[in-house]
C-alpha cells in the first residue's frame, strides 16, 4: 500500500464541515428555545481546537502541520456558552439577533467548506486522469 497524505486536507475540511453542521444544529436549537425560561445558549468551537492542534512549532509549513495532524483530536462537541450569564429576567441568555447573524455566518462557512472539499476532489480527479 502506498503511504500518501493526499487526503490530509480533505480530512481536516471534513472535520470542519462536521463541526459547522453541529454548530448549525446548536444555533437552530438556540433559536427554538429563545422563549424558554432558564435556557442557556449552546455553541460549538472547532476553531480553537484546530488552532491548538496546529500550533506545533516543530513543523514550519502548514502542509507539514496538516500532514502530522491527528484528526481524532479534532472531535468537538457542544458546550453551554456563558452558562451563568443572563441579561433577561427569565435567566435565558439567547439573543435572537445574535443567533440569526451566527446562523447566516455559519451557513456561509459550511457552504465554503463543502466547496473546498469538492475542489480538492476535483484536483485529485484531474491528477488521476
Question: Would you say residue 46 has pLDDT above 80?
Answer: yes
| Per-residue three-class SS string for 107-119 | HHHHHHHHHHHHH
Reported as a single tens digit per residue, the pLDDT across 80-92 is: 987 667 778 898 9
Q: Which residue has the higher pLDDT, 96 or 88?
A: 96
Report the pLDDT value the prediction gives residue 127, as an integer from 0 to 100.
80
Report the pLDDT value the prediction gives residue 26, as an integer from 0 to 100.
97
Alpha helices in 1-129 (DSSP H): 8-32, 46-54, 62-68, 96-128
Alpha helices in 33-95 (DSSP H): 46-54, 62-68
Reported as a single tens digit per residue, the pLDDT across 52-81 is: 888 865 667 777 778 777 777 888 889 998
Question: Would you say residue 5 has pLDDT above 80?
Answer: no
Report the pLDDT value the prediction gives residue 1, as an integer from 0 to 100.
38
Question: Would you say residue 124 has pLDDT above 70?
Answer: yes
Phi-psi bin for 82: left (phi > 0), alpha (psi -120 to 50), beta? left
Mean pLDDT to the nearest integer, 27-41? 95
Amino acid at each position: 500500500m502506498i503511504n500518501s497524505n493526499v487526503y490530509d486536507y480533505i480530512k481536516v475540511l471534513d472535520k470542519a464541515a462536521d463541526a459547522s453542521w453541529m454548530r448549525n444544529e446548536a444555533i437552530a436549537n438556540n433559536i427554538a428555545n429563545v422563549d424558554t425560561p432558564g435556557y442557556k445558549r449552546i455553541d460549538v468551537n472547532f476553531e480553537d481546537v484546530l488552532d491548538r492542534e496546529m500550533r506545533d512549532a516543530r513543523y514550519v509549513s502548514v502542509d507539514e502541520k496538516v500532514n502530522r495532524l491527528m484528526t481524532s483530536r479534532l472531535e468537538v462537541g457542544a458546550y453551554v456558552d456563558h452558562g451563568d450569564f443572563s441579561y433577561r429576567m427569565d435567566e435565558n441568555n439567547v439573543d435572537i439577533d445574535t443567533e440569526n447573524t451566527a446562523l447566516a455566518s455559519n451557513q456561509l462557512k459550511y457552504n465554503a467548506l463543502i466547496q473546498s472539499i469538492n475542489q480538492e476532489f476535483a484536483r485529485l480527479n484531474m491528477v488521476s486522469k
